[in-house]
Amino acid sequence: MALISCKNASFDYDGNTVVSELNFEVDTGDYLCVVGENGSGKSTLVKGLLHLKNPQSGEIIYGEGLKSTEIGYLPQQTAAQKDFPASAYEVVISGLLGSKDFSPFFSKADKAAAKSNMELLKVTDLAKKCYRELSGGQQQRVLLARALCATEKLLLLDEPVAGLDPIATNDLYAAVEQINKQGVTVIMVSHDVKTAVEYANKILHLNNEQAYFGNTAGYVESEVGKVFLGTAPQANAALGGAGNV
């Protein structure tokens, strides 16, 4: 059984359908990128995958014993979150709170898990530093270590490189790729379609409906993929008119 199955799912706000008729599956070990223009339904789907929003119709099914509390979620950061007054270590270990059953204490195993994930994301040297004093790339690595503390199965990343410089962006993509190769399933929402096809093995393209779902090679050759990647004849013609700048 798939880790996540989406069957004829549609979502609405105030009775107006935002995204409709979604049908796709995510298997253990997949690296799925969800792409599409702003307003295409990506953020709404994220809420559905987290069971924060129920489908208007259809359903999203978790398989292989996956629970919503076992999804490591890395949301887009707000200004308030970037200014959070805690140490990097405190932010990372807080990812384990969902599994604590309201206990305020962390066990030796919890602390070991936090340390291991910080080592994996190469932020151990930042443990005692205040989170809000870190660079954007460092903050994202800390948040990714936090998300890993919450799961051994599935990471859900919402535009994780937004606002990062090119070096920090490449570092974060490399870290996510390494995590995926270690067996953690990844679902990444991204506007960066060219990088998506470089790393992901599956693509879901939304346009207020399901424009494409399948393997990456198929997406590259699809009509919608060619348009978004700039390889369609009409896209090349439009780009050609702009000249070299």
Write out pLDDT tens, residues 44-100: 999 999 999 999 999 999 998 898 888 999 998 766 667 778 999 999 999 998 765
pLDDT band of 101, cuts 50, 70, 90: low
**The tokens of 203 are what?**
């693509």
Distance of CA 80 to the CA centre of its chain: 20
User: Got the DSSP string for 35-66?
Assistant: E--TTSSHHHHHHHHTTSS--SEEEEEE-TT-
pLDDT band of 238, cuts 50, 70, 90: very low
pLDDT band of 244, cuts 50, 70, 90: very low
Q: Residue 157 forms beta bridges with which residues?
A: 74, 188
Q: How many helices (H) and strands (E) does the chain have?
A: 10, 9
Write out pLDDT tens, residues 165-220: 999 999 999 999 999 999 999 999 998 899 999 999 999 999 999 999 999 999 99
What's the rounded Cα separation, in Å, for the pair 168 and 97?
28
Q: Which residues contact 85 (CB under 8 A, 6 or more apart)?
A: 130, 131, 132
Percent of the chain with pLDDT over 90: 75
